[in-house]
Structure 1
């Protein structure tokens, strides 16, 4: 069977974005071995050919019920697949899935029977929240930014909003482009429903969810926007660590300076 992308340029363009971001994650050292996951809601790009395709897998349980996802289509990085390979050959290292009408199962429909990410429950729960909120977001990203993960090994940074305020204060762009900040999800077993539920609660309040001692989850209108959220936070972490390596604690922007920035950009408090 021919690739579903051959006659669907809109879907091909979305998956090309995924491939580009997968390359960035590998180059930054945020995606060791098979680390990290990407899912994108491609329902808008699901043409008649894709919708008419017979499944190439049996129905597979999600592990939870997600009522807003019935009949939706997602491109997912495959489990045990490497970001560097996803960047080069996305349809060999990912697959398109369709959520069943019972909202509790999915089927693989294209191109190969590549099982989706082991974090699928967390990712689909994020998509459920995005659709329910009506924010128009279509992409979810999980990755392992080195400096941000390192900061979660320091207990004082895990207190509510401590890390957000620190990272905001390092450079104005972080306050402007990550206006709700970084929420902390206390350590939970990877791939668990408990982790998915905690992530959703976190993303109701923050732009990005930080999984303690593990990685981050970010969402956005497309995969570029989700990546950018993590990128600006990581830049702030690097600035903080660079200052500490030079032997001083960076003073950061003052509360007054951040207040001026909030007013100028009409940012939330």
Structure 2
């Protein structure tokens, strides 16, 4: 089976298409990565190039040593991924030390993995450890409404979490741990990777002020669905603010009742 016919590649491409249609990926905005399952690596190994030229990652992720990732390319447009995957995405091998990478498939017309690759790998490393390997997806996009909120709400985890929880009853169920907020930082470097990684130890959602959002998840559907839910909640919040603000909302006891009925643990720090 050709690499582009593999189920995980088709699922990856579907997310890039859906995200573009949502308006989350202007020009070459956003990036996406997936930690490939061992059985899928085995199935495509004959199509992978030997790992010869290695490039420093910029961060050390030893628990990802020997892993393979499917990732979008730097400067590539999400809208073009489905048209020609070979030119716009890549499969990357991480060396045994977790310090260097080698492109073993894709980006046939040249290029490198997304400039946010260090942030992706640091988050993959954290989530792999915390979930015992269950999480495999990191997704970054530029949703309009969540970015808009970073200009008017205090850049605090509690403020954003509570605001988003209150907009739709399902939100506390879908992201019960809340969301974290990174103040504005220059993207693509070690500092923002470290700042995002600290939040990913606690949350599955990290909002980058005036920039976008990072989500982590077990698979494509759950990760895309998480981002879609956060952005929809942000859209409602923007409209509520535009209409003059809240007149009523979900009471604190309502959140506690919701948590009990849905058997979820809501962070009490966001309820006081």
TM-score under structure 1 length normalisation: 0.91
How far apart, CA to CA, are the structure 1 residues paired with 2:156 and 2:101?
37
Q: Tell me what 1:38 maps to.
A: 32
How far apart, CA to CA, are the structure 1 residues paired with 2:17 and 2:227?
15
In the TM superposition, structure 1's runs of 4+ consecutive aligned residues that sit over 6 Å from their partners are none
Cα deviation, 1:84-104, whole Å, max 9, x if unaligned, reads 111333232101010012211
Q: Tell me what 1:260 maps to.
A: 257
Given that 2:127 and 2:200 are in contact with CA atoms closer than 8 Å, whether structure 1 keeps it comes out as no
Gaps of 5+ in 1: none
Q: Tell me what 1:246 maps to.
A: 243
Q: 1:83 to 1:52 in 2, by over 3 A?
A: closer
Gaps of 5+ in 2: 267-272
2:66 to 57, 63, 71: 71
Cα deviation, 1:57-84, whole Å, max 9, x if unaligned, reads 6211100111101110000101100111
How far apart, CA to CA, are the structure 2 residues paired with 1:127 and 1:53?
22
Q: 1:115 to 1:184 in 2, by over 3 A?
A: same
Q: Tell me what 1:17 maps to.
A: 11
Please, what is the CA RMSD of the aligned residues? 1.9
How far apart, CA to CA, are the structure 1 residues paired with 2:128 and 2:90?
21
1:170 to 167, 177, 185: 167
Q: Tell me what 1:90 maps to.
A: 85
How far apart, CA to CA, are the structure 1 residues paired with 2:52 and 2:158?
43
Cα deviation, 1:161-210, whole Å, max 9, x if unaligned, reads 11101110111111111111110112221001111111111011112001
TM-score under structure 2 length normalisation: 0.90
Aligned length: 262
Q: Tell me what 1:193 maps to.
A: 190
- Give the secondary structure class of the aligned counterpart of 1:161: helix
Deviation at 1:233, TM superposition (A): 1.0
How far apart, CA to CA, are the structure 2 residues paired with 1:262 and 1:49?
43
- Give the secondary structure class of the aligned counterpart of 1:191: coil
Q: 1:24 to 1:57 in 2, by over 3 A?
A: farther
